[in-house]
Amino acid sequence: MSTLFEPVRLGRYDLPNRLVMAPMTRSRANADGAPGDLATEYYAQRASVGLIVTEGTQPSSDGQGYMTTPGIYTPGHVAAWRPITDAVHAKGGHIFIQLMHAGRMSHPDNTPHHRQGVAPSAIAPGAQMFTPTGPQDAPTPRALSTDEVAQTVADFAHAARSAIQAGADGVEIHGANAYLIQQFFAPSANQRTDRYGGSIENRARFAIEVATAIAEAIGADRTSIRLSPGTALWGIDEGPDGPELYRYLVGELDKLGLAYLHIMDQGNDALLADIRRLWKGTLIINRPGRARDAIGTDIASGLADLEAYGQMILANPDFIERLKIGAPFHEADRMTFFGGTEKGYTDYPVMAA
């Protein structure tokens, strides 16, 4: 437990502890993609964690899938994120913006431009999405042309530069949870016949190109990526060679010298051990639903350098302080996860001084 509160080097930063706020979409941004007014308070309240990873943030208008998620690709977005990063820094914290392209997990009713979603191939996920008029089927997306894949890589790099302009310490590429990057990994979503489909090398290519372009744009030590090997969500099936794809991908990403790799564990212990071996840099592990008394076990065993927690930090702005003294945690209120007001967002109480 004690090592949790020991400083750690991450990329070009020294963090005061090894606990990370996992990225969490809260759907409270304005229609133009500027983070909502309460976002500054929300993130500043949680700045005592070693690192905040923000909610998924679209790197382009095509990247938006859900209602009222923030963006980081216009001057207005840059200006709107600035008070958030300033407030986190004023409290001694560090913040990486998560760049999330939803790909086919998108609905025209959810975006200001109302365009069809884009994806590796024109295959619907076979899933429902929340929209302004209630749940609807996610429609069949449009397949990106080879040139558009290159443009999407450039969009990620532009968004990363914008994040740095907005004062973020770095970016985390969202390569997990059945969104665009993982859609490229999975034959069930990727039937391309160009250099982005077919073999393991081809399916991993888009992720590697995005990471390379961002590392060139803002520095590898401010660039990171999140993966969830084996996620079987919303029509994603990585096939029998899925684990092999991740071994190849992690080995290639390791060569880039990124700030960290963030694994959202899906229960494949053998693969996780291989990833630890293949990844020479800093490794963050998030184990969904982990119990409080297991906090710190992956750091103690040497598997992880840092551990990420979502709901516990959502519901406990003073998570670090509570953990240190063994104070009870609030339970997260699922009804207020997505959209709404300060309720379930900035009104979770902190302990008396």
Ligand X SMILES: Cc1cc2nc3c(=O)[nH]c(=O)nc-3n(C[C@H](O)[C@H](O)[C@H](O)COP(=O)(O)O)c2cc1C
Catalytic residues: 179
Q: Minimum distance between the CB of residue 262 and ligand X, rounded to whole angstroms? A: 8
What is the residue whose two structure tokens read 């790197």? 59
Instruction: Collapse the DSSP code of 43 into the 3-class scheme (helix H, G, I; strand E, B; otherwise coil) and give the result.
Output: helix
Instruction: Specify whether the CB–CB gap between 38 and 44 falls below 8 A.
Output: no
What six digits make up the tokens of 188? 């069930």
Residues in contact with ligand X by the rule CB under 6 A = 22-25, 55-56, 98, 100, 174, 176-177, 226, 264, 286, 288-289, 309-312, 337
Q: Three-state SS for 346?
A: coil
11 or 175: CB nearest ligand X:
175
- Taking the CA of residue 351 as centre, how many other CA atoms within 13 Å lie in the half-sphere pointing to its CB? 14
CA distance 21 to 181: 22
Task: Choose between 291 and 352: whose C-beta lies nearer to ligand X.
Answer: 291
CB-closest chain residue to ligand X: 310
We find the least distance from the C-beta atom of residue 231 to ligand X, in angstroms, to be 10
Q: How far is the CB of 25 from ligand X (least distance, A)?
A: 4
CB of 33: closest distance to ligand X in angstroms? 14
Nearest distance from residue 226's CB to ligand X, in Å?
5
For ligand X, the closer CB: 98 or 110 = 98
* Nearer Cβ to ligand X (33/56): 56
8 A C-beta contact, residue 117 and residue 142: yes
Distance CA 72, CA 91 (A): 23
CA 77 from centre of chain = 18
Between the CA atoms of 121, 236, 257 and 99, what dihedral angle is there, to the nearest 10 degrees? 70
Distances (CA, A) of 219 to 211, 223, 258, 259, 262: 10, 7, 8, 9, 18
Q: Nearest approach, Cβ of 198 to ligand X (angstroms)?
A: 27
At how many degrees (to 10) do helices 242-254 and 269-278 cross? 20
Give me Rg for the CA atoms of the chain. Answer: 19
219/222 Cα distance (integer angstroms): 6
